[in-house]
Amino acid sequence: AQSVTQPDIHITVSEGASLELRCNYSYGATPYLFWYVQSPGQGLQLLLKYFSGDTLVQGIKGFEAEFKRSQSSFNLRKPSVHWSDAAEYFCAVYSWGKLQFGAGTQVVVTP
Amino acid sequence: EAQVTQNPRYLITVTGKKLTVTCSQNMNHEYMSWYRQDPGLGLRQIYYSMNVEVTDKGDVPEGYKVSRKEKRNFPLILESPSPNQTSLYFCASSEDLTDGYEQYFGPGTRLTVT
């Protein structure tokens, strides 16, 4: 069965610093992979997705993610975080009609 | 405006009292889905629907029912709610998830069962 692991439950980062959120998946074939962001009290918004082609994917709000098949990873990065990036981030993998989410990483941005 | 709407946004109810959470999308999407979000567990899929009259179980379907009689609507029914169904519920829709199309999420319904 497929699974998605986000090893970091909580990350604190200073404004202007770089951010990397980890995501590991377990899946037999090449998966469809997604990163979503949930701001406080809001629904989920898609940041970016990967399902084929270039393994470095650009998304909205200055985020990017890199698919590494050998490591079964799809880590999310941002070179310089803004206070508005404080939110919860979810990695997800699609297969057979289902979208499986990781448990999420809460990002806190300090001044 | 393209959107997914859910009603109600907040609901407090008692154990055993049947309730329905409505979900509607105006994007003519084929795929619709319900999730519940609990702290430390992320989002877990309850039910999904690939098209009208086609529904299937997700990972946590017990205690829930759905129907898809028309393309735009996908209500979630709790026949006999229990306290362990206290959660934040999201409805989502997508043009075609099999091609990696984006899922659009509703604003969420916070349900408390006492």
Give which of A41, A31, A87, A40 is closest to A63, Cα–Cα.
A87
Query: What was the pLDDT predicted at A76?
Result: 98
Q: In sequence order, which residues have a C-beta less than 8 Å from that of residue A71 and are 6 or more positions away?
A: A24
Query: What was the pLDDT predicted at B97?
Result: 64
Query: B33: which chain A residues are within 8 Å (Cβ-Cβ)?
Result: 99
Q: Is A46 on the interface with B (CB under 8 A)?
A: yes
Say how far apart CA A80 and CA A109 lie, in whole Å. 11
Per-residue pLDDT of chain B (114 residues; tens, 9 = 90+): 889 999 999 999 999 999 999 999 999 999 999 999 998 888 999 999 999 999 999 999 999 999 999 999 999 999 999 999 999 999 999 987 666 677 899 999 999 999
> Taken in order B6, B57, A38, B105, is the CA torsion positive or negative?
negative
Query: What was the pLDDT predicted at A96?
Result: 73
Mutate to test the interface with A, among B54, B97, B110 (most CBs of A within 10 A): B97
Query: What was the pLDDT predicted at B80?
Result: 97
Classify residue A71 by burial, with Cβ atoms within 10 Å: 0-12, 13-18, 19+: exposed
Instruction: Quickly state the pLDDT bin for A25 (edges 50, 70, 90).
Output: very high
Query: B48: which chain A residues are within 8 Å (Cβ-Cβ)?
Result: 97-98
The arithmetic mean of pLDDT across residues A55-69, rounded, is 95
Instruction: Quickly state the pLDDT bin for A51 (edges 50, 70, 90).
Output: confident
How far from A12 is each of A39, A62, B38, B63, CA to CA, in Å?
Answer: 15, 18, 22, 37
Q: What Rg value do the Cα atoms of chain B yield, rounded?
A: 13
Parallel, antiparallel or unpaired: strands A73-78 and A19-21: antiparallel
Residue A46 pLDDT more than 70? Answer: yes
Mutate to test the interface with A, among B66, B103, B109 (most CBs of A within 10 A): B103
Query: What was the pLDDT predicted at B99?
Result: 62
Q: Buried b / exposed e across A79-93, counting CB within 10 Å, b at 16+?
A: eebeeebbbbbbbbb
* A68: closest CA of chain B, how far (Å): 18
Query: What was the pLDDT predicted at B98?
Result: 64
Say how far apart CA B8 and CA B76 lie, in whole Å. 11
Query: B92: which chain A residues are within 8 Å (Cβ-Cβ)?
Result: 44
